[in-house]
Structure 1
Amino acid sequence: MTNVDRLPADLLKRKAVVYVRQSTQAQVQLNVESQRRQYELVQEAKRRGFRDVEVIDDDLGRSASGTVARPGFDRLVALLCAGDVGAVLCLDASRLARNGRDWHHLLELCGLVEARVIDLDGVYDPCRANDRLLLGMKGSISEFELNVLRTRMLDAKREKAQRGELRISVPVGYVWHRDVGLGFDPDARLQEVIRLIFTRFQQLGSARQVLLSMRAEQVHFPRPSDGRTLTHFDWTPIRYRNVISVLKNPFYAGVYAYGKSGKQMTIVEGRARKSYKHRKPFEAWDVMLREHHDGYIDWAEFERNQEKLAANAYGKAGDVKSGRGGRALLAGLLACARCGRRLSVAYTGRIPQAVYRCNRFDMPPRCMTFGGSRIDAAIGEELLRVVEPLAIEAAQQAEQMHMDTLNEQRRIMELELQQARYEATLAERRYAACDPENRLIAAQLEKNWEVALRRVQASQTTIALSLTNPVWQAAEIHLS
């Protein structure tokens, strides 16, 4: 140790703070050598004469770019303000800060309390002009280095995405194969459920009606049980978010999309904070490659679906509206001639009767209200008169559509039974391979086996009950 590096005795009476930081959780788990070298700075502080050494490692896995809260750095600043710190030790300037604001704020505090900054190159006194200049250059280089690294990585990632080769996360129904690249998930049951959603939406024209019809048939939808890896699923009753996410995702139309969401910057307590996953419109996406992979539907059908979903916004003036169910024949189809909004339906009376009315509250009184029994009867008679010449053909088409629906239900139930049998066989094999002496594991494996067997029995019971239904029996006769 040279005379230049020797520290005053009054500083050695204070504590030395070793600041340990790594930018990401992956670095914490994999770059253990960097972590070990930072912790070895404790011995360096003792070699320089400090007896009280404190290690601050609260920021492991946190970036120093200034957009992430760092409780460890805030704790270091608090200790400096209290005058308890004689020296701050770090591996290099990038460990302390990657932005000029935090770096110069730290140097200012060190200068006020005459604390030293120590790295592997030497000891720096922020009160001296030359040392202050050198530390400022180190901080600027560290900030510039971060920007260069980030720019290079993002540019490379964007170039790879423009070729459609970047392996982004894909929705349920697709997997990245090791050799052939992107393709359908080999699970036939999963494919069948996704195709069923598109088929039902084409028939019914409403995402909510698709949900209600599939719920009535007790259709299940896969939910990932292993986070983002999407290799294991739990089959749960289908929800509206499942239906709408499938219908609105262009990936199912063979489109490779990258940059669908953006980030926003806000100032919170004087610090920049980034928030991600803010959706962007189609035309603002960074990459959009059509016919990139096999799709469950084509692009033309996807565009029709989006137009239909947009038109289904309830009460929106000037758009076509699909039927919303209920006993009223024209529910959701009539518009007010005065304001253009869709008429709502209410059921009143001891024997509920449909009443159409306009509920525009910013224009009292209501534009119109009228009973629906006479108009429904008149429209029904007119419809029957128009379709009467084609009654036989229409009945045959309706019967065929009904049979197709029953066939879809049968395929889904058979796939559920097939998967339940596989899971039961797998649970049996695991139980048989377990050491009987290991009672805790054996008991849990036996319980899993029983749950799988009950699932098989439930699927078999569902199929057996469907076969006793007269509608299913008629379908069997029709198919035979």
Structure 2
Amino acid sequence: TMQPGDHTPNYTSLTDVTHGKPLGTWEVMLQDHHEGYIDWSEFERNQSLIAVNAFGQKGGVKSGRGGRALLAGLLTCGRCGRRLGVVYSGRAPGHPYYRCERINQMLAKPRCMTFGASRIDPAIGREILRAVTPMAIEAAMEAERGHRDNLEQRHQMVKLDLQQARYEASLAERRYAACDPDNRLIAAQLEKSWEAALRRVEACEAALAQVRQIDLATPVPDFNDMATDLATAWRAPGVDMRCRQQLLRTLVTDIVADVDDEKREVILTIHWKGGQHSQLRISKPKSGEHGQSTPQAALAVMRSMATRWSDADIAATLNRMGMQTGQGKTWTARRVGALRTVHKIHGYRSAEKNGEWLTLTEAAQKLGVTAHRVRRLIKEGVLPTQQVVPDAPHQILATDLEKDEVTQFPRHRGPCRIKMENQKSLFPGI
């Protein structure tokens, strides 16, 4: 016999001490023969969890235990049919890789495949979000209806309690009024009952007012936005990898992996719960390619600004836009210049110092005037300039400074006042 909490299984004979018989094949089993450490339902639940966690068994699926690999225990090799394991490579803590290892360990044969998790895991995450989005919107609407129903039920329960308390108070009042005043003991008891009923009415009214105040103060959650923003919830810092793995296992039964060596693609066949299948083809990184490359959006901004702006201005713009380098750092003029050299991006023309293009300060120095006068020339339309966007630094051709209208522009004494159209006087009566 075996009870929950026992550590010694029931064996068929004394000679066979290595293999226990399954629970359903026991000849004698006396439940609750003696008190165990746990009850029978918890024992069965523990046994089912142990069976699921037995990763090496045929047909078993490893439960989500955390780690840094999303698909640990779900990938099956499309060539040999064995489970893919997770290995970590590089400096600690290392980068996760999926590898068919058992054929090499047991049969000393070459491994079937090896591929990194840096591109596979995000692709599966996007596929999961795409699959659950319609159901999430429907679930959000159902949750919103349930939220409203709960509020209405709570109000209704408090109202019913108040109605019952008022009825009991009215009944106590009628009993007290119908009592003979000469019978003082009964009258005193009925008066106490009436006072208790009135106190209960006051308590129910206060509870109803409190419920209404809480409902007004508590904001109603926007379930629709919650459903449409599943990607943010999936990547939230408070959601750990174990939670993502468990969510994945509620939707996916198995994933069969294969590698197309000619096209350098990983082919994933997802077996969903319910019998549906879908396939993903994910490109493997090329030789020397890594996940710390500069984003293409940052390179596009750099190419558009390089011929007009300095490296410091480009770095400030990228930082204001929230873009980072491939290593997650902020931009500096030195990093922008180094990246321009690697990608052969032409620098901005006034920075080359060949005398063709000048900044506003350099133009003022060449004319021998102040920067304020150069701004006045630009504002009057005498000196043409180029700007990438409004309010960007001016780029001035050196040949434009030699024009007669620029050199012979009259000097203005006193403050510069420009008459604005449709401008009203501050003192119209004067």
Give your verdict on TM over 0.5.
no
What's the TM-score bracket when you normalise by the shorter of the two chains?
under 0.3
Which is richer in helix?
A: 1
Larger Rg: 2
Which is richer in strand?
A: 1
Higher relative contact order (CA closer than 8 Å, sequence separation 6+): 2
TM-score normalised by L of structure 2: 0.26
